[in-house]
A and B are shown apart, each in its own frame.
Chain A
Amino acid sequence: MDSSVVCLRKNTRRRIEREDVERRPLSLLYQEGCRMKRVLVCVVLLLGVLGLSMQTVAITAIVEHPALDAVRQGVIDVLAENGFKDGDNIKIDYQSAQGSVSTAVAIAKQFVSLNPAVMIGIATPSAQALVNATKTIPIVFSAVTDPVSANLVPSFGKNPGNVVGISDMTPVKTQLQLLKLAIPEAQTLGVIYNSGEANSVTIREFAKEACDALGMKLIDITGSTTVEMVASLNAQIRDVDAIYIGTDNTAASSIESISRVALREKVAIVAADIDIARSGGLIGFGFNYYQIGRATGEIVLQVLNGVSTSELETKILGANSLILYVNTDIAAELGIEIPKAILDRADIIVENGVEKTR
């Protein structure tokens, strides 16, 4: 501080000396110098105060992926709409673990050392890494299908502790009921998923239950990579009457090849994700990940406004946010007559290559 003051004085004197040549009143110049100094000090102080008071929101996702990126965008948008803009009054720190669990753990530990106001973990491993790294800093998880089995929270609803979040649990039972309603003759259902993804394994369990109740046989079509997945689909496609895809990341990545194989063999795809359904699915029924992000953002907002995490509920999205997508072009191609009851309720209908939203 001292040295800068000395420096300022020197500069002022130099200016005074220089401008003296231009014959301006000395006293006025001195005053001007003083004012500048005062302004400078004020600016520095203001910046310092702002910097200290600026809260950090730390976001981490296990991997960069359209659905997970949409969640992040939803969170950021909700915060911005409510006066928490990145760089203005909060600092948003985002890091992706690029699919590596050890990086996710490193990011979590690093976040904790920054002491942010709230941390957001998108997808199971990132959320688990955060939850394990602190017991005090509020954590909001998102896009975790089964937070109870992942041991993030003891149950849905209000829980003591620093963890709360939004589950992307999808209505598996209704999706399979829709499938059976549209294709009553379907006897065997192929479920495509990656057995290495925690979310998908939970969804597969629910699909098994619903299949048993609906009198269908479930066939697992699994693969740990996109290549394996398409290979096992090719091997098993002749044994299935319909295909169900949950919110599986690997299936989402290989959906173009999956739908090509399915269309060739005239097998319908029912998906839990609208974006998956858009790439060749017959029916899609589920959430849009941007909405899940926005719901997560609402929770983050409350935490930033000082509400304790133990006062907030871990929940799923409301049933009114569900979107029903039906592609009548694909229905025609497969020779399937979609019941009018389903068409009447559809939010998005594809007809003659045009997507209509209602």
Chain B
Amino acid sequence: MAILEQGLIIGLMALGVYISFRIVDLPDLTTDGSFALGAAVAVRAIVSGLPAWIAIALASICGAVAGSITGTIHRRFKVNVLLAGILVMTMLYSINLRVMGGPNLPVPRVVAEKSTQSFEEMSGGTGLDDLFGSLNINTSQRSLRTGPIIKNIFNNNLDGSDLLLISLVIAAVVLILSVFLRSDPGMVLRAFGSNPSGIVAFGVSQNVIAVTGLTIANSIVGLSGGLFALYSGFSDATIGQGMVVTGLASVIMGEILLGRIKLFYGLLSPILGGVIYQALLSLAMRYGYRIGFLASDMKLLTAVFIIAVIGLRQLSTSNGKRKVKLEVKRLWSNSKVSQ
């Protein structure tokens, strides 16, 4: 159940990655930053007393703005999209720290009774105090940082209500997106991904498409980041780390599972992929050590998995299969010779 909940939120993020990487075919690396931005904005909004649904909407809007900036840098200044994404991601790291007012911001669940005290205030000295003489100083008392407890929309009881909430958000996003992709501008977007020059020949501005695609993609990523932060109960500066890779792995996983079945223009496959990816990840963490995996090997495994899947797919198309057979035969005969 917990895996399903988190998998769905990650799947939503993967949906954003799917839109940028697959539908408009722009490898966008803003994701790490916009996910963290969504998380930071959502928690900051909740802490300042806004209702949860506004917090999540704000997260989504901020993600959208980040995406549109990447798109604008990419098209206006003719910067490679990878570089534009990295630049915006880097900027967002600093911005997120500003938004949170520090590296870590929890959704208040207990009321702080006393501000944090220094070691000396708590222990009453260190045993070296007699050394200092004239250097003895008194540090002032800090003001109390208290906030009211805020009722989180997620109750974390695994009773299905969190799952329902996440599912509802995802259903709404998928519905809106599939309606949009059916409309004329949506069609242009999809066509651009498969044949850019064809669409440009029709007189559609490439700038508009790139910016629109990245805006939509990152608004979904921001939304997912906001949901994730509220679901986890805190936001951290490093919360977005590795999200692009996770998203890509989920997209690929979804494509393996659903193959050519394109329900809602393939929008469901990254979500399913996210859930399966999360399940595999937790299985690998749980039982991986029995076959000698260390927790620190996970990143290597994820990357190797993505490469393997892409590589296998390349080999299995057209004359690829023959190549594999030949390769296997060659290896086999080599091994015989060496024996």
Contacts and interface: CB of A to CB of B under 8 A. Distances in A.
B319 interface: no
Nearest to A287: B119
A196 interface: yes
Interface string A122-145: 001100110111110000000000
A107 B128 contact: no
B123 A316 contact: yes
A315 B131 CA distance: 26
Interface string B136-172: 1111101001000000000010100000000000000
B51 interface: no
How large, as a class, is the contact surface on chain B? 35 or more
Contact of A169 (B108, B118, B137, B139): B118
A109 B6 contact: yes
A153 B106 CA distance: 12
Contact of A128 (B5, B122, B234, B242): B234
Interface string B107-145: 111111111111110111111110110011111101001
A159 B109 CA distance: 13
Contact of B118 (A101, A151, A171, A322): A171
B93 interface: yes
Contacts of B102: 198, 201
A150 B104 contact: yes
A319 B129 CA distance: 11
Given A99-B238, A101-B238, A150-B106, A155 B10 contact: no
Nearest to A105: B232
A11 B268 CA distance: 54
B106 A151 contact: yes
A279 B282 CA distance: 37
B104 A198 contact: yes
Interface stretch (A21-29, A174-182, A327-335): A174-182
Contacts of B129: 174
Interface string A147-158: 011111111100
B2 A112 contact: yes
B231 interface: yes
B27 interface: no
A134 B104 CA distance: 20
Interface stretch (B71-79, B185-193, B258-266, B294-302): B294-302
B199 interface: no
Interface stretch (A74-82, A208-216, A293-301): A208-216
A156 B122 contact: yes
A197 B103 contact: yes
Interface in A41-56: none
A213 B97 contact: no
Nearest to A151: B106
Nearest to B35: A102
A342 interface: yes
A109 B3 contact: yes
B122 A322 contact: no
B132 A148 contact: no
Contact of B132 (A113, A171, A177, A316): A177
A127 to B, nearest CB: 10
A8 to B, nearest CB: 30
Given A96-B296, A154-B112, A101 B6 contact: no
A260 B1 CA distance: 51
Given A132-B109, A156-B114, A101 B103 contact: no
A35 interface: no
Contacts of A170: 119
A89 interface: no
Nearest to A194: B103
A260 to B, nearest CB: 27
B233 A132 contact: yes
A171 to B, nearest CB: 4
Contact of A125 (B234, B286, B295): B234
Nearest to B138: A213
A195 B236 CA distance: 12
Interface string A8-36: 00000000000000000000000000000
A214 B137 contact: yes
Interface string A82-118: 0000000000000111111111011101101100000
A205 to B, nearest CB: 8
Interface in B1-25: 1-3, 5-6, 10
A224 interface: yes
Contact of B119 (A98, A109, A159, A169): A169
B237 A196 contact: yes
Given A128-B233, A196-B93, A148 B126 contact: no
Nearest to B242: A100
A112 B5 CA distance: 14
A251 to B, nearest CB: 14
A345 B156 contact: no
A223 B156 CA distance: 35
Contacts of B127: 319-320, 322
Q: Which of B114, B118, B127, B132 has the most CB of A within 10 A?
A: B118
A124 B104 contact: yes
A177 B137 contact: yes
Contact of A195 (B97, B115, B116, B135): B97
Contacts of B113: 154-155
Given A112-B2, A209-B139, A98 B233 contact: no
B306 interface: no
Contacts of A306: none
B233 A206 contact: no
A341 interface: yes
Given A64-B295, A110-B286, A155-B114, A180 B135 contact: yes
Interface string B264-302: 000000000000001001100110000000011011000
Contacts of B6: 102, 105-106, 109
B219 interface: no
Contact of A210 (B2, B112, B137, B296): B137
Given A181-B132, A206-B139, A322-B127, 4 more contacts: A99-B241, A106-B2, A151-B108, A169-B116
Interface of B: 1-3, 5-6, 10, 93, 97, 102-104, 106-120, 122-129, 131-132, 135-140, 142, 145, 156, 158, 228, 231-234, 236-239, 241-243, 246, 278, 281-282, 285-286, 295-296, 298-299
